[in-house]
Amino acid sequence: MKESFIVEGIGGKRVLEGNIPVRGSKNAVLPAMASSIIFNKPLTLTNVPDIEDVHRMAELLENLGAVPEQTKKREYVISGNKTHTSVMDEFLSKKMRASVILTGPLLARFKKITFPHPGGCVIGARPIDLFLSGFEKMGATVKEQKESFIVTAPKTGLKGANIFFHIPSVTASETFIMAAVLARGKTYLKNVALEPEVTALAEFLVSCGAKIEGIGTPMLEIVGTGGKLLSPKRVYKTIPDRLETGSFLVLAALAGKDVTITDCQPEHIEILTDMLIQSGVSIDIGKNTIRVQQSTKKNFRPFNIKTHEYPGFPTDIQAPTVVYLTQAKGDSLVFETIFEGRLQFTQDLVKMGADITLWDAHRAMIKGPTPLKGREVDGPDIRAGLALLVAAVIAQGTSTINNVYYIDRGYEKIEERFRDIGITIERVVKEV
């Protein structure tokens, strides 16, 4: 069975009104769930979004012996202390690239791990060289066997090391923060990713006794416990999803009469709010809200984007921003520097009427404004899926967005929140 969304487009009108709440960040909560393995008691997590990737991470943890329990709406208690194996299931691991974050805590605690390559996906090849070389620097040996990697730490556990990431990878930074927290001695992590999700993890671990200096900078100095598990001293409250905030902002900019995005952290998406304001969108930024009020139809100015690590333009916001740029007056250039597959979805936008020239896998030119028409399209990944949903909302006529599973991986019950601001959207099940 496959699910699709049927969306009645509003044909370029500005009619959306009301509040749309942002849920907890997918990319913050996944490493926090994985961190339960380096704790000696159950960990409580709140503001956990009800999304497929959280369910997948819970399944992976359960498969390792941990006990993840949903105790309330958006609250989990995870007994990672009950984990008893460090052999990661191939089928479950390959379903989600983020499974790779489990390798750090598992290796630090059990001194040996077996895991499959988490796999590439539609957005790119997604290598794991930073993980393998980092473990080797911490004294481990890496063997490749059939489809799996077997990594073995010294008998006394991982040792502190000097690790320079040649790319500031988000999940590699998180993995090595967790590994170093339990290692013997001091680890220096250099060129660490600065994404708020990495900072949130490091700050949480520090609040539970980990010794990490330099949080929020590209260089961390971590003094390991020598194998001693941490004690949960507080509840992990998931930060708002800045990528969801950004997608809603684009939607409100394109179709909002008076839309307020609530429960968000505006400073995490400043680059987008700044660019949209300069492009002509009326935006009011509050402490935890962003309000877009736009009663008249006016021409938005185009702009160029080049995706970059935080605080630069997020690759995950590139797709919805491309939809925005199809409605700006003039030419815009998009340079996707992080992933080679993330402009493929523009083919679907072209099918809907956009004028986009793909120069190569990384660069596209958009000429706007072009009215969009409702079509049947496939959401190829989480972020492009949502971008196509936004395109369907502003289009003329009815659209069908297939592969809703991808949208469900990252966005909690999106149709309910869309309906609350005036969008006509229905989830349908297709027998296959």
- Please list the active-site residues: 121
Sheet containing 398-402, strands listed edge to edge, beginning at the edge strand earlier in sequence: 376-378, 398-402, 2-8, 424-430
The answer to whether the beta carbons of residues 249 and 290 sit under 8 Å apart is: yes
Binding-site member from 61, 78, 107, 128 for ligand EPU (CB under 6 A): 128
Query: What's phi and psi for 57, nearest 5 deg?
Result: -65, -40
Residue closer to ligand EPU (CB basis): 162 or 231: 162
Burial classification of residue 143, based on how many CB atoms lie within 10 Å of its CB (0-12 exposed, 13-18 middle, 19 or more buried): exposed
Least distance (Å) from ligand EPU to the CB of residue 423? 22
> Distance (Å, rounded) from C-alpha 213 to C-alpha 203?
10
Q: How many degrees, rounded to 5, is the angle at CA 121 between CA 45 and CA 316?
A: 60
The tokens of 67 are what? 């006990």
Q: What one-letter code names the amino acid at 386?
A: L
Residue closer to ligand EPU (CB basis): 170 or 389: 170
Q: Give yes or no for residue 202 binding ligand EPU (CB under 6 A).
A: no
Q: Give yes or no for residue 144 binding ligand EPU (CB under 6 A).
A: no
The answer to whether the beta carbons of residues 399 and 9 sit under 8 Å apart is: yes
Residue closer to ligand EPU (CB basis): 43 or 382: 382
Nearest 10 degrees: Cα torsion 148, 25, 328, 293? 170
Q: What is the biggest distance separating any 2 CA atoms in the chain, rounded to whole angstroms?
A: 68
The tokens of 255 are what? 């179709």
Q: DSSP assignment of 160-175, as one string? A: --EEE-SS--HHHHHH
Who contacts 267 (Cβ-Cβ below 8 Å, separation ≥6)?
A: none
Q: Give yes or no for residue 74 binding ligand EPU (CB under 6 A).
A: no
Least distance (Å) from ligand EPU to the CB of residue 347? 19
Q: Give yes or no for residue 131 binding ligand EPU (CB under 6 A).
A: yes
Residue closer to ligand EPU (CB basis): 174 or 279: 174
Least distance (Å) from ligand EPU to the CB of residue 251? 17
Kindly write out the interface string for residues 393-412 of this chain, putting x where it contacts ligand EPU by CB under 6 A and - elsewhere: -----------------x--
- Tell me how long the chain is: 432
Binding-site member from 20, 98, 386, 404 for ligand EPU (CB under 6 A): 98
Least distance (Å) from ligand EPU to the CB of residue 266? 19
Contacts to ligand EPU from residues 298-357, by CB under 6 A? 315-316, 338-339
Least distance (Å) from ligand EPU to the CB of residue 197? 6
Residue closer to ligand EPU (CB basis): 98 or 180: 98
Residue closer to ligand EPU (CB basis): 197 or 415: 197
Kindly write out the interface string for residues 162-201 of this chain, putting x where it contacts ligand EPU by CB under 6 A and - elsewhere: -----x-xxxx--------------------x---x----
Q: Give yes or no for residue 382 binding ligand EPU (CB under 6 A).
A: yes
> Distance (Å, rounded) from C-alpha 349 to C-alpha 375?
9
Given the rule CB under 6 A, which residues bind ligand EPU? 26-27, 30, 97-98, 124, 126-131, 167, 169-172, 193, 197, 315-316, 338-339, 382-383, 410
